[in-house]
Amino acid sequence: MVAFNTGAGAATLQLNIDVGAVSGNSSRVDWSLYLYCYNGRSFNLSANVGWSVNIAGNGYSGAFAYDFRGTSAVLIASGSTWVGHDGNGNATISVSGFKGVDGSSDIADNVTVSASVNLPRIPKPPVTNGAPAVSNLAPTSVKLTWPANTNNNGAAIDQYLLRINKKTPVDGPGYVDYPLGASTLSHTVTGLTPGTQYYAAVYAHNGQGYSPKSADTSFKTLSGAYVRRGSTWKPVEVMVYRSGQWKSAEVLVYRNGAWVPAT
């Protein structure tokens, strides 16, 4: 709860603001308007005194009577209103309270208390993550690395999802998902087919859901051939010279009456 007050004469006018329930992209703002008198005087007034409250453009008004005999606080009025947030879950509202003239004392005549209030942010799913980058490309594996999501929209990142597909867009039929921890920013995918085009994308996740899909990253696994360098066999890509340039060739084997990828 936050409280705003203005003193006048022998009293103080105070507006209390609290945030209650959240529904969708809106918050319930609870308010109460109090009149305080701390100096021991026994003011009381049975006649009606005007008051008004405005919460983010929603107005309330009425009249009240006060009696400070035996108390230092009088509740003028209270209520609740729902306030919408912007697309990022943020909301800043103007609030004010007013007490009119009572005509019989110096208890805060024609006093206004006003303020600007930042409501707690309503978290949203993260923004779109940066796309994965390719390294360590081999015939049947690849390492994919992506940047941390620094705009989590008010809720901590708790997971990354790496998605692989032979088609684009990545989220079309046939994709394979790799759920990964919040601190995992790279993953080596194995079991791929040599000489094959693949596409990859990343999603960030927080308590509100998944981000939109990152841009698709394309890569083609090596063709499945190895050469010996020193004491080590290293993967290489098989190339053919065609139309004045070298192009990748997919290595196939004849199996069960058909040419198929050499896996």
168-188 tens-digit pLDDT: 999 999 999 999 999 999 999
Strand 176-181 to strand 159-165: parallel, antiparallel, or no bridges (unpaired)? antiparallel
Q: What is the pLDDT of residues 79-117, one digit of tens each?
A: 999 999 998 899 999 999 999 988 766 677 889 999 999
Alpha-carbon distance of 250 to 148, in angstroms, equals: 35
What is the CA angle 58-5-46, rounded to 5? 80
What does the block give as tokens for 25?
């992209």
| Max mean pLDDT range (22-31, 63-72, 218-227, 254-263) | 22-31
Mean pLDDT of the region 8-31 = 93
- Please check the confidence at residue 150 and state whether its pLDDT lies above 70: yes
Q: What is the pLDDT of residues 248-258, one digit of tens each?
A: 776 777 788 88
- Please check the confidence at residue 217 and state whether its pLDDT lies above 60: yes
* Total-model pTM: 0.70
Q: Given this model, what pLDDT does residue 127 score?
A: 95
Alpha-carbon distance of 82 to 85, in angstroms, equals: 10
Mean pLDDT of the region 108-132 = 94
Contact 236, 226 (CB under 8 A): yes
Alpha-carbon distance of 142 to 139, in angstroms, equals: 8
Alpha-carbon distance of 78 to 165, in angstroms, equals: 57
